[in-house]
Amino acid sequence: MNIQDIKNRFGIIGNSPMLDRALDTAWRVAATDLSVLITGESGTGKEVFSKVIHHYSSRKHGSFIAVNCGAIPEGTIDSELFGHEKGSFTGANEARKGYFEVAGGGTIFLDEVAELPLQTQVRLLRVLETGEFIKVGSSKVQKTDVRIVAATNVNIPEAIEKGKFREDLYYRLNTVPVHIPSLRDRGDDIQLLFRKFAADFAERYKMPSVKLAPDAQQLLLSYRWPGNVRQLKNVTEQISIIENERLIGAAILANYLPGQNGSMLPSLVKQESPADFSERELLYKVLFDMRKDMVELKKLMIELLQHPGGEISFSDQSHQTINRLYSEVAQPGYYQPVQVTSETPIQPYNTQVQPVITEHEEVAEESLSLDEREKELIIKALEKCRGRRKNAAKELGISERTLYRKIKEYGIDL
């Protein structure tokens, strides 16, 4: 059997060696009666591969039933798969055949098999081992002749480690594994698929086919396509219907690719440690405090300029800011801290009088260094908490580990 014949029959587009290998494996195992586990990301076309296996098997004239295990509630999954007897549970007004009984002589495709409850996994294991099952509410053992093709986008070995999937069932299902490559691993197949989908939608909606400019083709290839072929088909249909232009550039295409400016594009991302986050939060706190001081000072200056020589009333927040700034910049022989309250007389500001500074006089400038501000903030927090580092770290909004490192870094002696 030619692989291209399989592609033509099932509408599979692509020349990727990984795709061809998966198709060849599916075709070869189809002639046997072995169970198959198809793996691959969501949207890669796992159900199409299950149909390939059924079509080229000796069961091709029997039933083919596709079951989405993740879409059936846990309370009814056993009934759906194995059937139930009348009165076996509330609402069971009559007996019902399950898929394993109906599909006798055919194939059952269990999509998202990793979503099966553990109790159902035990029942499924028995079918694989002995070909027997029991209906819900019955004690009669029934035989079935069904081939099982399962599929999942979950890492089964990890699910086994977490106790969410039975190891013995995994080995029973995984007799012959078929892995479908993700779209981003198929190279130029992405452009082939886009052109095929664009032509199909142009014919369906009676309109000219959309084409991609060179920059859009590059974006198409660099995007990660988390939804794989299903997402590409959806994007192509949206562009075909919505856009008036038939030649699509990268700017237009980018509007249809969620997160293409963020994490969806392949990139090297530096993982930040908790210490980096704590240090950044501390810097934000310093900057935020400085900003609040500047805002309050601006308000004070506006008040002074708008009321030259008159009475000025300050808010409690303004009084607190004045007191704190006085204490921060006070130096021996230069500034003296002044406690400002609502009763403190404020000298009118005279816009005509300018301070006289002699050539020998030095003007004290407040340091704008972030490191200095950070160091001062840490010292104040430690003094406020009387040296208790745990409380000081909580006051600063950082971890104790970060605080210890900062104390050592700035040489703060307590």
* Domain regions of the chain by residue span: 3-181, 184-254, 274-317+366-410
Unique residue bearing structure tokens 């099952």: 133
pLDDT at 356 over 50: no
- Comparing CA positions, the residue from 99, 187, 199 lying closest to residue 149 is 99
> In CATH, what class is 3-181?
alpha beta
Answer with the residue of higher pLDDT: 308 or 200: 200
Any idea which of 49-53, 73-77, 196-200, 207-211 has the lowest mean pLDDT? Answer: 73-77
Any idea which of 16-30, 246-260, 363-377 has the lowest mean pLDDT? Answer: 363-377
Average pLDDT over residues 250-276: 61
CATH topology of domain 274-317+366-410: Arc Repressor Mutant, subunit A (1.10.10)
pLDDT at 206 over 80: yes
Average pLDDT over residues 176-188: 94
pLDDT at 267 over 50: no
Q: Report if pTM > 0.75.
A: no
Top-confidence range, 124-128, 348-352, 369-373, 402-406: 124-128
What is the dotted CATH code of the domain comprising 184-254?
A: 1.10.8.60
238 CB contacts (<8 Å, ≥6 apart)?
Answer: 256
Answer with the residue of higher pLDDT: 309 or 380: 380
pLDDT interval class at 321 (50, 70, 90): low
pLDDT given for residue 382 in this prediction: 84
Top-confidence range, 87-101, 239-253, 303-317: 239-253
pLDDT digit string, tens, across residues 213-255:
999 999 999 999 999 999 999 999 999 999 999 999 999 999 9
pLDDT given for residue 352 in this prediction: 47
